[in-house]
């Protein structure tokens, strides 16, 4: 999901809509904005679909007055899936002591089932099926005397991955979980401040990047100042390495590194690790593009746009239903025949999950008369589900969970298939010595099975680590 918040500007809703629009790649199912105005109190709009279709008309924006606001774009990883229920669309707002608060959450709470059971037993009335709602109830039940303190109480009970933006009537609060699995940055805009999942959301409103919220940090922002708090036991950070590979936008800066440059470096690593003789390097757009450029630069094999992406289709993976995803590949990608016929083609994509994309692309490339097809993948085999906010399917559906690299190559019927090594990926994100096996610098559970936070709910549901 994508989250955004702003305080100290004339129309928080306008800035929030723009910020969310820049974060649309992080969630396309639904979006919402909550604002507060001294005269008109809290107001919110939550809708299915794209930001540009819901938060551009004057009629809607006029219902969202005030100098402070937060917003969320949704990509369902918990709660209802497929047809998201409107009740699961964030931000969530709760009225309780001291005027209440609204929250927007990116990530996934790994002990949400247990928390929800406990809260319901004690009388909480849930409005949604989302894991994130637990935070509001825990805040409402805390006995602390102000909302930031109540939020600390609440989040100390929560396990898993969370970047959260909350707002009260006057304050904006941003928190990252102790491992800092999901991103969150602070910007300065005019006389005000903003918080966003990624720096690309600062660029769109002309905000200056101040710094990242640090793993385990809570920042409390009023119109005139930012204060920093440390609510959790210190821990070694484990940022999601897949944000670098796929999830974030290439024009964002993560941990001081350009996402685009990291992806290009991944492509270079891939070319060094797994060279092959061929005539062209083609990306599977858009997610494979920077890595394909890196592969081409390193290998000297010309880059070609052998597959063209229809720009009016979103991220297919994120469409939760299998049938839409299957159709999605053809709706979204088409072969540029003139560049492919008779050629030995290297196809570069960011990941193979179920194998749907690669299988379809290979068929299309062979139909177009390619002489050979070689897949190069910018991440290691995805053999484990993510429980921290990326919607990978159950383990059985992951191609790499049941097959070796050679078996996958045969299954996909391609001439060769190679994934970047885990160490190669770490080198590309700037860890010159690769992955430290005793203390990995990132979360890489979907590749390694090494889960930095025990996925308690999943274990209870029978998941075997």
Residue closest to ligand 5GP, measured at CB: 317
- Supply 463's token pair: 């998941």
Which of ligand 5GP, Mg ion, ligand SF4, none does residue 445 bind to, with CB < 5 to 8 Å depending on kind? ligand SF4
| Pairing assessment for the beta strands 68-74 and 2-7 based on DSSP bridges | antiparallel
Cβ(375)–Cβ(307) below 8 Å: no
The per-residue DSSP string of 279-292 comes to SEEEE-TTTTHHHH
For 375, the enclosing helix (H) or strand (E) is strand 372-377
Cβ(205)–Cβ(12) below 8 Å: no
Selected binder of ligand SF4 within 193, 388, 419, 426 (CB under 6 A): 388
The reply to whether 349 sits in an annotated binding site is yes
Selected binder of Mg ion within 90, 106, 287, 392 (CB under 5 A): 287
Instruction: Please list, in sequence order, all residues whose beta carbon lies within 8 angstroms of the beta carbon of residue 243, skipping any fewer than 6 positions away.
Output: 182, 183, 254, 259
Q: Is 214 in the site for ligand 5GP (CB under 6 A)?
A: no
Q: Which stretch binds ligand 5GP (CB under 6 A): 146-154, 296-304, 313-321, 408-416?
A: 313-321
The reply to whether 321 sits in an annotated binding site is no
Q: Is 350 in the site for ligand 5GP (CB under 6 A)?
A: yes
Selected binder of ligand 5GP within 264, 349, 444, 457 (CB under 6 A): 349
Q: Which stretch binds ligand 5GP (CB under 6 A): 129-137, 220-228, 295-303, 347-355?
A: 347-355
Cα radius of gyration rounded to whole Å, the chain = 22
- Supply 358's token pair: 């690669």
The reply to whether 386 sits in an annotated binding site is yes
> Which residue numbers are catalytic?
1
Selected binder of ligand 5GP within 25, 315, 343, 374 (CB under 6 A): 315
Closest listed residue to residue 110, CA positions, set 361, 458, 460, 344: 458
| Tokens 């308690």 -> residue | 456
DSSP E strands in 190-335: the ranges are 192-196, 208-212, 218-221, 226-229, 239-240, 253-254, 257-258, 280-283, 307-309, 333-335
Q: Is 25 in the site for ligand 5GP (CB under 6 A)?
A: no
Q: Which stretch binds ligand SF4 (CB under 6 A): 229-237, 322-330, 367-375, 439-447?
A: 439-447
Which of ligand SF4, ligand 5GP, Mg ion, none does residue 444 bind to, with CB < 5 to 8 Å depending on kind? ligand SF4
Q: Is 352 in the site for ligand SF4 (CB under 6 A)?
A: no
Q: Is 181 in the site for ligand SF4 (CB under 6 A)?
A: yes
Max CA separation in the chain (angstroms): 72
Q: Can you state the percent helix, strand and coil of the chain, rounding each to 5?
A: 35, 25, 40
The Cα–Cα gap between 214 and 230 comes to 10
Q: 392-431 mask for ligand SF4 (x: CB under 6 A)?
A: ----------------------------------------
The Cα–Cα gap between 261 and 253 comes to 10
The reply to whether 200 sits in an annotated binding site is no
Cβ(178)–Cβ(235) below 8 Å: yes
Q: Is 318 in the site for ligand 5GP (CB under 6 A)?
A: yes
Q: Is 444 in the site for ligand SF4 (CB under 6 A)?
A: yes
For 204, the enclosing helix (H) or strand (E) is helix 200-204
To Mg ion, the closest distance from the beta carbon of 350 in angstroms equals 6
The reply to whether 282 sits in an annotated binding site is no
Q: Is 287 in the site for ligand 5GP (CB under 6 A)?
A: yes
The Cα–Cα gap between 81 and 163 comes to 21
Q: Which stretch binds ligand 5GP (CB under 6 A): 9-17, 139-147, 209-217, 315-323?
A: 315-323
Nearest residue (CB) to ligand 5GP, 5 versus 160: 160
Nearest residue (CB) to ligand SF4, 293 versus 453: 453
Which of ligand SF4, ligand 5GP, Mg ion, none does residue 115 bind to, with CB < 5 to 8 Å depending on kind? none
Q: Is 35 in the site for ligand SF4 (CB under 6 A)?
A: no
Helix (H, G, I), strand (E, B) or coil at 47: strand
Helix (H, G, I), strand (E, B) or coil at 55: coil
The Cα–Cα gap between 278 and 348 comes to 13
What are the backbone angles phi and psi of residue 377, rounded to the nearest 5°?
-115, 130
Where helices occur in 300-455 by DSSP H, the ranges are: 322-332, 337-340, 356-367, 399-402, 405-412, 422-428, 445-448
The Cα–Cα gap between 37 and 411 comes to 58
Selected binder of ligand SF4 within 64, 352, 377, 445 (CB under 6 A): 445
The reply to whether 443 sits in an annotated binding site is yes
The reply to whether 134 sits in an annotated binding site is no
Q: Is 242 in the site for ligand SF4 (CB under 6 A)?
A: yes
Q: Is 355 in the site for ligand 5GP (CB under 6 A)?
A: yes
Closest listed residue to residue 221, CA positions, set 179, 178, 165: 165
Nearest residue (CB) to ligand 5GP, 3 versus 218: 3
Binding site listing: 240, 287, 349-350, 386, 443, 446
Binding site for ligand SF4 (CB under 6 A): 181, 240-242, 386, 388, 390, 443-446
Binding site for Mg ion (CB under 5 A): 287
Binding site listing for [4Fe-4S] cluster: 240, 386, 443, 446
Binding site for ligand 5GP (CB under 6 A): 246, 284, 287, 315, 317-318, 349-358, 382, 390-392
């Amino acid at each position: 999901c994508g989250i955004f918040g702003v305080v100290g500007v004339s129309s928080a809703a306008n800035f929030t809509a723009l910020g969310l629009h820049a974060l649309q790649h992080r969630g396309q199912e639904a979006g919402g904005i909550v604002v507060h105005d001294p005269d008109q109190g809290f107001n919110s709009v939550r809708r299915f679909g794209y930001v540009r279709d819901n938060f551009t008309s004057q009629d809607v924006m006029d219902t969202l007055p005030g100098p402070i606001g937060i917003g969320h774009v949704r990509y369902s990883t918990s709660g209802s899936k497929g047809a998201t229920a409107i009740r699961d669309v964030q931000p969530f707002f709760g009225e309780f002591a001291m005027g209440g608060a609204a929250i927007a959450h990116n990530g996934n709470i790994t002990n949400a089932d247990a928390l929800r059971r406990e809260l319901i037993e004690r009388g909480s009335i849930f409005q949604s099926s989302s894991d994130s709602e637990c935070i509001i109830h825990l805040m409402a039940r805390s006995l602390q005397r102000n909302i930031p303190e109540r939020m600390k109480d609440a989040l100390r009970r929560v396990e898993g991955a969370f970047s959260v933006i909350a707002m009260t009537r006057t304050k904006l609060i941003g928190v990252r979980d102790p491992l800092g699995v999901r991103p969150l940055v602070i910007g300065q805009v005019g006389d005000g401040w903003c918080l966003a999942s990624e720096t690309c959301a600062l660029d769109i409103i002309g905000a200056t990047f101040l710094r990242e919220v640090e793993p385990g940090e809570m920042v409390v922002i009023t119109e005139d100042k930012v204060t920093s708090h440390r609510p959790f036991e210190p821990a070694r950070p484990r940022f999601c390495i897949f944000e670098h590979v796929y999830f974030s936008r290439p024009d964002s800066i993560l941990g001081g590194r350009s996402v685009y440059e990291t992806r290009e470096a991944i492509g270079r690593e891939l070319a060094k690790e797994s060279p092959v003789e061929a005539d062209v390097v083609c990306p599977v757009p858009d997610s494979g593009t920077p890595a394909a450029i890196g592969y081409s630069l390193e290998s000297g094999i010309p880059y070609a746009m052998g597959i063209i992406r229809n720009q009016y289709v979103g991220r297919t993976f994120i469409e939760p239903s299998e049938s839409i995803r299957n159709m999605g590949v053809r709706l979204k990608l088409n072969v540029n025949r003139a560049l492919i016929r008779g050629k030995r083609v290297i196809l570069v994509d960011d990941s193979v999950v179920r194998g749907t994309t690669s299988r379809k692309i290979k068929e299309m490339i062979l139909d177009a008369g390619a002489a050979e097809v070689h897949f190069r993948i910018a991440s290691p085999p995805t053999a484990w589900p993510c429980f921290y906010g990326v919607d990978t399917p159950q383990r059985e559906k992951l191609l790499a969970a049941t097959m070796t690299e050679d078996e996958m190559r045969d299954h996909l019927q391609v001439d060769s298939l190679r994934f970047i090594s885990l160490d190669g990926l770490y080198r590309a994100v700037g860890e010159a010595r690769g992955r430290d096996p005793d203390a990995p610098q990132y979360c890489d559970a979907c590749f390694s099975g090494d889960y930095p936070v025990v996925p308690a709910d999943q274990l209870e549901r029978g998941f075997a680590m």
